[in-house]
Chain A
Amino acid sequence: MTTFLQLHLLTSYPPACLNRDDLNRPKTAVMGGVPRLRVSSQSLKRAWRISDTFHEKVSDQMGIRSKELGRRMRDALLNGVALADLLKPGTLQAEPDGKVSDENATKWAWMIAGEFVDKKTKDGEEETEGEEPEGKSKKKVKKPNVSKETLKSEQIVFYSQKEIEVLGTLIQSLRESGRPPTAEQLRVLKVKEANGSADLALFGRMLASSPDFNVDAACQVAHAITVHRAAVEDDFFTAVDDLNTREVDAGSAHMGEQGFGAGLFYSYVCIDCDLLKENLGGDAELTGKTIKALVEAAATVAPTGKQNSFANRAWAPYVLAEKGSRQPRGLSLAFMKPVNEYGEGMIVNAMTALDTMRTNLDKVYHSGQPLPSESINALTGEGDFQKLLDFATGSGGV
């Protein structure tokens, strides 16, 4: 039995151009024979994945910002003290135990630290990559911005707790094997960090070149479609030339058109909680955090398209979360018949249509048995987002 967490959201956007096609106009779709505005699932996922909201909620723990980690790693290599201990305030000192030579410790720490910083190409210089075992290349190579002498990086780098944990394990294994880190060990350093795992576990990845990193996405996102008839409108705009003295003409310096649209969108997200947990190596706590991060991002993060022109940030006034092992289904059928603004107004009508469809489907297909659920309604002030998050996060343990 698989636990599916289904999210249904209604989000109202003011005039905006959230997600554009090749003609720079908002994307559209036809549903119920009626034109609608559309935001593609890819656009929604991108906005959520790169949002601060998502990353902060997943980490939910203090990382370390430092230029110095390279030096601490060298110390850990030299004296066998766990890296995590070295990073604590009041650094403990221990004498090198001779397991790893000073030269090797410095070199390996430099190689590892280099993985966390931007690499820079020195123009016009022929450099050899002497630090690599083969070292044959005479080509211009990119060098990490970490000083080989001081082991300090040029920029201050953020290391998550999970990354530090992984680094600590790597250092222990290097001490035991007495061999420099392999390309593969260096490559996976960042892949294993919490933000990265959460991102990949939810949204998946296919790398033809490294199938080891392939992950089947545990999350399904539908294209968001307006619950009502909506057409793309055109904003005709002009820009004036401030230095035009009107001696020759008083026309504008530039004319243009920008397609835009406003609408109340229905979006649907389905998370396979079991697959998510499996993708996260069985870590129930991280699974919970990941779910929470996604629910928060879905409810509060908007695609950033044309943000400066339209300031189209919007939070979902209505979120319904359902949880169960039953075959998941969206509720878009509720909006086949476009919702109008009469009666209680469009948002309330849309909420009613959504609830009615949910009830009706349950009646017809599941003898009236609803799935356990939690919802918020910001119009009436009903529900509590924290409670909804707890309900959703609870699926982390599956």
Chain B
Amino acid sequence: MRDYLVFQLYGPLAAWGDIAVGETRPSAMTPTKSAVLGLVAAALGLRRPDTARTEAERAEWESRHIALAEGYGMAVRIEALGLPLTDYHTAQVPSSGTGKNRKVFSTRRGELTHGHKSDLNTILSRREYRQDAFYAVAIWARGNSPYTLHELRRALLEPCFMLYLGRKSCPLALPLQPEVKSAEAVEDALASMHLEGILARVAEAGGDAGWTKLYTRFQPSAPLLLWDGDAETRLLPEQTIIRRDATLSRRSWQFTVRDEHQAHLGQGGQL
């Protein structure tokens, strides 16, 4: 028996940053632990070390992020994995000078209009997203957790900073509805986070029968559960993958590996 903080993640677009070197900024199919805890950190008002002004602040925020990353276990239930989207992204940048010549522009407008058009270069990137995906998350506290689950819940209800699904341009499109629940196994805690049930409630509230068809628009499949090694579960992993999404340092953007077990759930979230 354990307490869980469960909440849902839905937006038309989501992006779960995978190892990114150079032009392609890939997205994993399922949420990364660093992104989910990043969202929790934003709700709590933890700042990013790289926007700190002093070394002391930097160290302080770094340690709070690490405490968060190490203090909680995570499981995710997915009924709709969604479709991939690759966005072809360009950004114009003026040639940067060297030494004393380097210019800092105060506005984007200044940057683009200050010099000659021929001085503008284009940087390309391909940014991957997931479309139409729905995730339910369960978080449990480990021995060294810096906040109680109730504190996390309150933060999620009235967050300090804005929340998003992996990339700032991916806002939430359903409230997270965080709840603290006790359950024998993590799959039981997540059993109530049924996409169909959630959409039916929203549809019924308006008394519009047409909305009940919303569920089918998500192309749901047999739910998939992903869980951290220390989860309490009756499931046996169908496969275990190694993901590099455990925050090692927010400051230098370093992540270490984590074992993630995966298995499909039957009807109603049971074995």
Once the chains are docked, how many angstroms separate the CA of A135 from the CA of B12?
A: 56
User: Does B105 touch A at the CB level, under 8 Å?
Assistant: yes
Instruction: Report whether A333 and B173 are in contact in the complex, using a CB–CB cutoff of 8 Å.
Output: yes
Instruction: Report whether A213 and B162 are in contact in the complex, using a CB–CB cutoff of 8 Å.
Output: no
User: Does A212 touch B at the CB level, under 8 Å?
Assistant: yes
User: Does B241 touch A at the CB level, under 8 Å?
Assistant: no
Give the contacts of B137-192 with A (CB-CB under 8 A). 156-164, 168-177
Once the chains are docked, how many angstroms separate the CA of A51 from the CA of B105?
A: 16
Given A46-B108, A50-B109, 5 more pairs with CB closer than 8 A = A27-B88, A327-B43, A327-B156, A328-B162, A366-B175
Least CB separation from B202: chain A residue: A360
User: Does B214 touch A at the CB level, under 8 Å?
Assistant: yes
User: Does B2 touch A at the CB level, under 8 Å?
Assistant: no
Once the chains are docked, how many angstroms separate the CA of A30 from the CA of B82?
A: 9
Interface positions of A (Cβ within 8 A of B): 1-2, 4, 21-22, 27, 29-34, 40-42, 46, 49-50, 54-55, 118-119, 129, 132, 141-142, 183, 187-188, 190-193, 195-197, 199-200, 203, 206-207, 209-217, 220-223, 225, 268, 270, 272, 275, 325-333, 336-337, 356-357, 359-361, 363-366
Neighbouring B residues of A327 by C-beta, 8 Å: 43, 156-159, 163, 172, 175-176
- Identify the stretch in B46-54, B63-71, B223-231 within 8 Å (CB) of chain A at 4 or more residues: B46-54
Given that A330-B173, A337-B210 are known contacts, is A225 also in contact with B104, CB under 8 Å in the complex? no
Interface residues on B, range: 35 or more
User: Does B78 touch A at the CB level, under 8 Å?
Assistant: no
Once the chains are docked, how many angstroms separate the CA of A146 from the CA of B53?
A: 35
User: Does B11 touch A at the CB level, under 8 Å?
Assistant: yes
Instruction: Report whether B89 and A40 are in contact in the complex, using a CB–CB cutoff of 8 Å.
Output: yes
Given that A49-B107, A272-B162 are known contacts, is A211 also in contact with B172, CB under 8 Å in the complex? no
Neighbouring A residues of B211 by C-beta, 8 Å: 337, 360
Chain B nearest Cβ from A189, distance in angstroms: 9
Given that A27-B87, A30-B85, A42-B89 are known contacts, is A329 also in contact with B172, CB under 8 Å in the complex? yes
Q: Which of A142, A215, A330 contacts B171 (CB 8 A)?
A: A330
> Could you list some 16 contacts between A and B, CB below 8 A?
A32-B132, A40-B169, A49-B107, A141-B101, A187-B104, A190-B106, A210-B104, A216-B51, A326-B157, A327-B43, A327-B172, A329-B175, A330-B173, A359-B206, A360-B205, A361-B174
8 closest A-B pairs by beta carbon, nearest first, are: A196-B106, A41-B169, A32-B217, A363-B205, A360-B205, A49-B108, A199-B107, A21-B88
